[in-house]
Amino acid sequence: MNNIINITSFTWNPAELEDWMIGVFIFVTVVVLIRYLVAWFVSTLMNRGIISLSTKSVIIRILDLTVIITIILGIVESITASLTPYIIVLVLGIMLFILFYYEIREFTAFITVQLQKYARGTWIEAYLPNVSTPVRGRIVEIDPFSSIIEDLHGNQLYIANSILVNSLIKEYRPIVTLRVSVDMAPEASLEPLIEKVKEVVEETPFRLDETRIPLNSLSKDRLTFTLHLIPLSTPVRSNDLFKTLKKINNAIREYNPSINIVE
């Protein structure tokens, strides 16, 4: 009896105990190694700017909790040789999933958004499900439950991550679109007018996109075209935009201009 060791209701001899300890050691070592490999991968994603620091912290916490539960379950199962611990954990897991379904769904979408190409600071045009008008703006923050998109004028919109991840998203370059109507005969040239606009815009916090000046309409003595102004910084201040419009209007006042902001 001196060579028998009692653990719970089992009796192991020293050789069995040694094998059990070696097995537990290997199991714990493998789990911990996997934990550090996953943590290293998550840190790499953060260093590359794919995910944020807050995302990394949340993932590491979940990872540590999973490691602890896995080790405890493995040790208990190796001692009792019973599936009871797994059944208990499964039932608890189902209950937690039902109770926290919304949080789990949004956090899963949060991870997906973090791993997408359109990370924080990116300007996007998002077509949300069942919404015809796209949302345009810069992603300024990605929280576990929602993302914050700031438009060109500094207005912020909170969008649930589950909605954003199911949206059609494409890159977007922030611009201020102007619809300009001027007096101009059909045989006149547009170049002198555009040159005047370009000169005054260079003195403002905007730059004129000369590659995109579409003509909208041309009547007997009236021409309508579109200008795209690229802001040098965002958000665009109303005062800066007003001064720019005023300078453009003064520069081409001989053409009797009418200027409207499209977006």
Domain that holds residue 130: 120-171
Q: Are residues 249 and 181 in the same domain?
A: yes
Q: Kindly state the tokens that stand for 128.
A: 């949300």
Q: What is the pLDDT of residue 246?
A: 92
User: pLDDT value at position 46?
Assistant: 75
Among 171, 190, 209, the domain boundary falls at 171
In a domain, 17, yes or no: yes
Q: In this structure, is residue 51 part of a structural domain? A: yes
Helix, strand, coil: what percent of the chain each, to 5?
Answer: 50, 25, 30
Burial code (b: 16+ CB inside 10 Å, e: under 16) for 17-32 equals eeebeeeeeeeeeeee
Full pLDDT tens readout for the chain, 263 residues = 344 444 444 555 677 667 777 777 887 888 888 888 888 888 887 777 666 666 777 778 777 878 887 777 777 777 766 667 667 767 777 777 777 777 777 777 777 777 766 667 788 888 888 888 888 888 888 777 788 888 888 888 888 888 888 888 888 888 888 998 988 876 778 888 888 888 888 889 999 888 888 888 888 888 888 999 988 888 888 888 899 999 999 988 888 888 898 87
> Would you tell me how many other CB atoms lie within 10 Å of the CB of residue 244?
21
Same domain (yes/no): 95, 9: yes
Residue 152 lies in a domain: yes
135 and 150 part of one domain: yes
Q: What is the pLDDT of residue 2?
A: 42
Supply the pLDDT for residue 133. Answer: 84
Structural domain tally of the chain? 3
Position 126 in a domain: yes
Do 125 and 158 lie in one domain? The reply is yes
Would 113 be classed as within a structural domain?
no
Asked which of 171, 206, 230 is the last residue of a domain, the reply is 171
Q: Do both 188 and 128 map to the same domain?
A: no
Judge if 14 and 85 occupy the same domain.
yes
Please indicate, yes or no, whether residues 236 and 154 belong to a single structural domain of this protein.
no
**CATH code where residue 130 lies:** 2.30.30.600
